[in-house]
Amino acid sequence: MSPVIIAGSSHPGMALSIAQALGAKVLFPVVEKFPDGETHVVAPSINGTVVYVQTMHPYPNEMLMEMEFTADLLKELGAERIVAVVPYLAYTRQDTRHMDGEGIAVKTMLRMLEKAGVNDIVSVDLHLHRLGLQELSGMTSIRIHEVSAVDALAKESGRYLKKPVVVGPDAESERWAKRAAELLDSHYDVLEKNRISPTEIEIRPKTLDVKGQDVLIIDDIVSTGDTIKKVVESLRAKGANKIAAAFTHGVLSGEDAAAGLYRAGATYLISTNTINNEFSRVDVGPVIAQKLKEIL
């Protein structure tokens, strides 16, 4: 029996995509704000397993509170298991205490969701640069499942680029670059930084010659775009042909983030719909649905 899909207010289209892939029913609770800003949720009574879909952008604090209220309400109304699909899981960058007194926000967030009644979290390309999935899972009793958008991003990029060299902007992105290169029957490289002065950094390919070749830059998240901008500029300086920047989570904060990437020389920007913007060309609903089939 297919689970019932419950749509959070942040991404009802994602809930619908997952429901269609599963052949499941999707329900849309009423989520509104009182005049003083309080969140008010009205949800249906559901027994058994519920899949609750809520991404955490563009307002992670508000989305987290809505998740808290909705998960707790669903448990009160009869849900026995809540699988929270959170395509973009915020706070994962706050995973380590760098200075005395600093909070580890991801741990606090997971504890809050655990207390509200969430049993599983399914997310896409988690930002696991310092911690592994096992270490993140060790912070909570919630079962955390990760799926990747790299296959879909590589396929979409292949529509625009001819056998591109795949580039990861840093060591942490190597797992995505390697996989994309395999799918595109190409080669990959991971960039290295060379500090020229206290204020100037050069980013360059370690091994591959990109002159005259199409290039695919692939990463999990682009926030301000500053790092990718430097990568694009470096590749342009080395004679690259078409350059596509593909990323799972297109935060692109700041009015000039996307324009800055084009200005630096990017030909295409490609992201998934974990975050809705004009570059969300790849729907991750089907890959999430496949993971749900495995764990439900």
Per-residue pLDDT tens over the stretch 119-168: 999 999 998 877 889 999 999 999 999 999 999 999 999 999 999 999 99
Provide the edge-to-edge strand list for the sheet that holds 215-222.
188-190, 165-168, 215-222, 243-250, 268-272, 280-282
223 CA to centre of own chain: 11
Q: Which domains does the chain have, with CATH numbers?
A: 4-148+283-295 (3.40.50.2020), 150-273 (3.40.50.2020)
Instruction: Tell me: pLDDT of 98 over 90.
Output: no
Q: What is the mean pLDDT of the chain?
A: 93
Nearest to 209 by CA among 186, 240, 250: 240
Whole-angstrom CA distances from 16 to 59, 227, 255, 269, 277 are: 21, 34, 30, 25, 18
Per-residue pLDDT at 207:
66
Tokens of residue 53, six digits: 């879909």
Q: Please give the Cα distance from 232 to 265 (Å, whole number).
A: 6
Nearest to 249 by CA among 266, 226, 269: 269
Per-residue pLDDT tens over the stretch 250-295: 999 988 999 999 999 999 999 999 999 999 999 999 999 999 999 9
Which of 126-135, 176-185, 245-254 bottoms out in mean pLDDT, i.e. has the lowest?
A: 126-135
Type of residue at 46: I
Q: Is 40 helix (H, G, I), strand (E, B) or coil?
A: strand
Whole-angstrom CA distances from 106 to 11, 62, 67, 93, 127 are: 21, 15, 15, 8, 11
- Average of per-residue pLDDT across 196-221: 78
Residue 206 banded pLDDT, cuts 50, 70, 90: low
SS (H, E, C) 185-196: CCCEEECEEEEE
Q: What angle do CA 50, 54, 57 make, to 5 degrees?
A: 170
Q: Is 77 left (phi over 0), alpha (psi -120 to 50) or beta?
A: alpha
Q: Please give the Cα distance from 216 to 93 (Å, whole number).
A: 24
Per-residue pLDDT at 254:
85
Nearest to 247 by CA among 214, 224, 213: 224
Assess whether 193 carries a catalytic annotation.
Answer: yes
Per-residue pLDDT at 8:
97
Identify the active-site residue in 155, 162, 193, 211. 193
Residue 2 banded pLDDT, cuts 50, 70, 90: confident
Q: Is the link from the previous residue into 3 a cis peptide, with omega within 30 of 0?
A: no
Per-residue pLDDT at 202:
65
Type of residue at 43: A
What angle, rounded to 10 degrees, do the helices at 226-237 and 257-264 form?
10
Containing 73, the helix (H) or strand (E) segment is helix 60-76
- Average of per-residue pLDDT across 87-104: 93
Instruction: Tell me: pLDDT of 54 over 70.
Output: yes
- Average of per-residue pLDDT across 168-172: 86
Q: Give the burial string for 132-152 (b: 16+ CB within 10 Å, else e).
A: eeeebbebbebebbbbbbbeb
**Residue whose structure tokens are 């026995």:** 80
Q: Is 127 helix (H, G, I), strand (E, B) or coil?
A: coil
The whole-model pTM stands at 0.93
Per-residue pLDDT at 241:
97
Instruction: Tell me: pLDDT of 192 over 70.
Output: yes
Per-residue pLDDT at 34:
97
Per-residue pLDDT at 201:
57
